[in-house]
Amino acid sequence: MNRQIILKSRPVGLPTTANFEITEAPALSAKEGELLVKALFISVDPYMRSRMSDAKSYVPSFEVGKPMDGGVVAEVIESNHPDFVAGDAVLGHLQWREIQSVNAQHVTKLDKAAPLSYYLGILGMPGLTAYFGMNEIGKPVAGETVVVSGAAGAVGMVVCQIARIKGCRVVAIAGNDDKNAYLKNVLKVDEVINYKTEKKMKAAIARTCPDGVDVYYDNVGGEISDAVFANINKFARIILCGQISMYNATEVPVGPRPQPLMVKKSALMQGFIVSNYSARFGEGIHQLAQWLGEGKLTYQETIVEGFETLPETFIGLFHGKNTGKLLVKMKD
């Protein structure tokens, strides 16, 4: 049986496994110009939550009754295109399906020199998101203080390390002590804050950022951001990458208005999605691969095995269960 996972119903608030269903996918073959591919690794990412709603967003919504889709690394098992042969590894935006056919022009052949899962992480969307957010918006300067929320996530861990490479003081915010120990001991950030046990976030930011906050890479939003905002310096740059604390909100989240402070501080806040920079992905991948090769970047994945684990693995993102990039590996 060729399995697929469909969106069964739209979640209200946090998604549950009841919003998904495993069904049988049609048998397929590769037509002219197509490849038949077998999934190896399937990515789960926070941004997928917004696609489960039918509200207009920057990416189209999933359709109820149709398969979920996202970043997938797959192996070609049958090629009907001259540039590919069986055994090639490819990256594509594919369905949550064990075996599927795809137009060969919609996938990228992968260099097997790097571990294939890396193309869903540090050499893929999360790595590029960290890279372009920091380079194009944050523009950190040596000696400045960079605060990262969601620091133990796929994007956040790369951000922390880029900030260190740039010579900045790095303060990482994450939700448990194991993650924070990893950030401090392995990724060598200067300070860590556990936002779940820290009672006074504003004071904690002030304590760990004695010279104030120059760059804030924000993956989380909400009250964590309020605490960081209270400590920004003049000409601070705030990179809005994601707002994971808001994704399951059922009403418009309300909080202190940031604008008066932003005027006082001549601060900049900018939202982005990585595809804004798609014309420059080559540059980003090259730089990230170089840092990896030089040992300046450490990479951490959390790999869950089994196609059928996709729904609960995805849901785990919103319970802070992963350290680094979270993805699902198909059983051999």
Residues in contact with a second copy by CB under 8 A are 50, 57-58, 218, 221-222, 225, 234, 240-243, 246, 252-273, 276
For residue 310, which of 2, 42, 10, 24 has the smallest C-alpha distance? 42
Which is nearer to a second copy, 240 or 292 (by Cβ)?
A: 240
Q: At what angle do helices 154-165 and 125-132 cross, to 10 degrees?
A: 40
The CB-of-232 to a second copy minimum distance in angstroms stands at 10
The CB-of-279 to a second copy minimum distance in angstroms stands at 15
Which is nearer to a second copy, 33 or 58 (by Cβ)?
A: 58
The CB-of-178 to a second copy minimum distance in angstroms stands at 28
Which is nearer to a second copy, 27 or 263 (by Cβ)?
A: 263
Which is nearer to a second copy, 67 or 258 (by Cβ)?
A: 258
**Rounded CA separation 153/173 (Å):** 10
Residue 89: count other Cβ atoms within 10 Å of its Cβ.
Answer: 19
The CB-of-131 to a second copy minimum distance in angstroms stands at 16
Between the alpha carbon of residue 179 and those of residues 12, 96, 129, 176, 321, the distances in Å are 29, 29, 21, 6, 10
E-strand ranges in 137-242 read 145-149, 169-174, 191-194, 213-218, 232-240
Residue 27 CB burial class (10 angstroms; 0-12, 13-18, ≥19): exposed
Which is nearer to a second copy, 94 or 148 (by Cβ)?
A: 148
The CB-of-300 to a second copy minimum distance in angstroms stands at 24
